[in-house]
Amino acid sequence: MEILDAINYFSAFLTLIYVFVVITFIVGWIRIKPYLKSLKQPSTVVSIIIAARNEEDKIAKTIDDVLAQSYPRDLFEVIIIDDHSTDRTAEIVKSYKGINLIQLNEHKALNSYKKMAIQTAIGQAKGDLIITTDADCRMGAEWLATIVNYYEATNCKMISSPVAYFEEKSFFERAQALEFSYLIGLGASTIGNKNPSTCNGANLAYEKKAFFEVGGFKGIDDLASGDDELLLHKMAAIYGDKIGFLKNKDAVVYTHAKETLGEFIQQRKRWASKSTRYKEKSVIILGVSVWMFNLSIIVNAILAIFSPATLPFLIFQLAAKLVLEFIFLNNMMSFFKRKALLWWLPILNVLHIIYIVYIGIAGNSGKYNWKGRMVK
């Protein structure tokens, strides 16, 4: 009985930690004020970099959106790196005028092709500001102008901008859209709290000079993932007060949720694998605490079957998780204008517990499939 009591009270302690953590997320998001773009004429030369591998079905729309930007055409270049595609990706890129195509011809097996692709492009880039996005993303005509306007107004060394899912076709994809918004909000809130921890490479900007000053991807170039988050950590270590999150609807980049559970799991394992390289102790403690909190819910759910005394602790955990995450996500979905997705939160909340525990283990052990390659 003493062991059971210890488990119950420890789970209550973990719940209080989680409540505190989510409250800091809420505060961090609120601290970031919506950015209103000024009418100032831009002067920054920009290099938009897109690494692509087997994206023949989506890359044309991405290129069309990039070329349709309101930003002066003489102030930006588009560099697309074809990462050993086996489909018509390169052929489609070549059909466009004014696009710089780099085709990787690296025959030696690597673990991080994407970092090599981006590093190669930056080495040839003419722009002072680097902006990365993905070959399956969509954006509005004011996307580039909004990012540059924010850059010129704030002088940030790195700018994380919003990414959202769209065109969901099923409950599974809508659930991903809600969970993904949580991740984007988490990253934004840590920037708002002056302790940057995560961002998304589908909508990331940074000074080329700053990229080289932090050593680029050196030290993290053996890991398949991390061209965004681990680079953010390197930037924050030197330019902690010059990392910004652009809270403006025109800056949003849109992408698609994964259609199958298998694709989703492989993607999340890739994202979670970056945690093996975290150096900031506060980020590590945060991740471990959240994982242990979710694990404790599963443990209490099992114990409640045999011991009714555990049930109040389980209810307390589930209620605290649902209420705090609803408040946080309500802010996020208001920004994305997708509040209708909040109806799915109670179901997602339960599934998310199992997912967090599984990915926490799977993402830090073994290999995973990414773009038809087994990497780690």
List the structure tokens of 225.
């993932």
Residue 76 has pLDDT above 70, yes or no: yes
pLDDT-based confidence at residue 369 (cuts at 50, 70, 90): low
CATH code of domain 34-260: 3.90.550.10
List the structure tokens of 276.
């093996």
Alpha carbon of 233 to those of 159, 198, 278: distances in Å?
A: 13, 8, 8
Q: Are strands 76-82 and 46-52 parallel, antiparallel or unpaired?
A: parallel
Q: What is the pTM of this model?
A: 0.91
Q: How far apart are CA 146 and CA 169, in angstroms?
A: 30
> What is the domain partition of the chain in residue ranges?
2-28+281-366, 34-260
SS3 130: strand
List the structure tokens of 92.
């489609």
Q: How far apart are CA 148 and CA 71, in angstroms?
A: 9
Q: How far apart are CA 178 and CA 359, in angstroms?
A: 17
The DSSP code for 161 is -
Residue type, 184: I
| Predicted pLDDT at 371 | 61
Gyration radius from the chain CA atoms: 21
Q: How far apart are CA 376 and CA 370, in angstroms?
A: 9
| Predicted pLDDT at 333 | 96
| Predicted pLDDT at 360 | 84
List the structure tokens of 140.
């509005």
Q: Which residue has the higher pLDDT, 224 or 82?
A: 82
pLDDT tens digits, one per residue of 271-288: 777 766 666 677 778 888
Residue that is written with structure tokens 């694990």 in the block? 295
pLDDT tens digits, one per residue of 14-71: 999 999 999 999 999 999 999 999 999 999 999 999 999 999 999 999 999 999 999 9
Helices 2-31 and 311-336: crossing angle in degrees, nearest 10, is 10
Total number of residues shown for the chain:
376
Residue that is written with structure tokens 């599934």 in the block? 351
